[in-house]
Structure 1
């Protein structure tokens, strides 16, 4: 494998990874909210990045073929993911209805502790079947097109994931002045609730 082929595969993986991960979803919505609150951002960013890298490695390593060969795994993942996303949608909707951002949100976030935030992050990542579609099935298929350079492609995807989560988790704090008013937090939580509800319903209907 030439160095030029490795470089091209890495760049292709970086571009492909970003095109998948930048889309608004349950995981990104949670990372954005934690970044705005400045609560346990490192826990969230590191957990999301490591999880994505692991899923990419599984996809390039051939786990996508296993998922395709055992449909019951996909059905179980859809049911579990739907239940979790719908429950989280209800919590976000309650926050939007009741309001109470700013100092109250910061206090609530601090009270949860890093372990609770870690558990939520892991659930939003590993209980979401869309993650498996994007980072396992599609990553494996796209990487195979690069032959011997497929792991360079995977490395590019991994770099894209780390870059994106770090930017979203830490860079989102720059938007904090826009959320000085409780109404802005209520709109954000309403949007998060809508995203979670739509994803949860789509998974539930797909499992039927």
Structure 2
């Protein structure tokens, strides 16, 4: 039980920090677009990433420091591009940001979801490297991984479906612009942290 709770706690603490994936899920939840497919895609992706880490990839990466460095600099580039896209949305504003604006296709939403998950080295560092490394010290690594998986699923479903409670605030285009500006700032800060840390 200790391993399960430890995995849940660490998994939740890692995923709570806003990142590209969380920002995208929040945005989809606020717009009410394809929420179930998006949260399922995120949850299933996390299951795979956490499983890779717990099943030993974290140890493999620890033996190949160049892989961690490559992930780090890839993460910096990815986060800066995502920050630039969010900054552009904040700058131009407009009807496309309104909840009732033009709908994103399911295909486009899922491709974006997969990109912000699988092409984001920051996600790999958190789930595969960090959780994988910590799981080696757990009493039962499998239960530790299961706890982290449950935390990810609970978080994504809560974020995606709970975002609707914030819709009255985001009925104004200015709120969408502020959200995108905040996302751009946070992504830039994370990128700088990765680059310097």
Same fold (TM over 0.5): yes
Determine whether 1:63 maps to 2:85.
no
Aligned match of 1:31? 25
Aligned match of 2:11? 17
Aligned match of 1:131? 123
The structure that has the greater radius of gyration is 1
* Cα separation, partners in 2 of 1:92 and 1:161, compared to 1, 3 Å: same
Higher helix proportion (structure 1 or 2): 1
Partner Cα separation in structure 2 for residue 77 and residue 101 of structure 1: 36
Match of 1:88 among 57, 82, 90: 82
Aligned match of 1:3? none
Q: How many residues align?
A: 197
Q: CA deviation at 1:71?
A: 2.9
Partner Cα separation in structure 2 for residue 46 and residue 175 of structure 1: 21
TM-score (norm 2): 0.88
Q: Deviations over 1:125-173 (max 9, x none)?
A: 22222222221222223222233x2111111111110000000011111
Q: How large is the Cα RMSD of the aligned pairs? A: 2.2
Partner Cα separation in structure 2 for residue 163 and residue 150 of structure 1: 20
Partner Cα separation in structure 2 for residue 184 and residue 103 of structure 1: 9
Partner Cα separation in structure 1 for residue 171 and residue 101 of structure 2: 15
Aligned match of 1:161? 152
Q: Deviations over 1:48-102 (max 9, x none)?
A: 1111111111111110122122233333333433333222222211211122257
Unaligned stretches of 5+ in structure 2? none
Determine whether 1:199 maps to 2:195.
no
Partner Cα separation in structure 2 for residue 81 and residue 70 of structure 1: 17
Aligned match of 1:144? 136
Determine whether 1:50 maps to 2:41.
no
TM-score (norm 1): 0.84
Contact 1:78 1:128 in 2 (8 A): no
Partner Cα separation in structure 1 for residue 137 and residue 179 of structure 2: 39
Contact 2:30 2:99 in 1 (8 A): no
Q: Bigger shift: 74-83 or 25-34?
A: 74-83
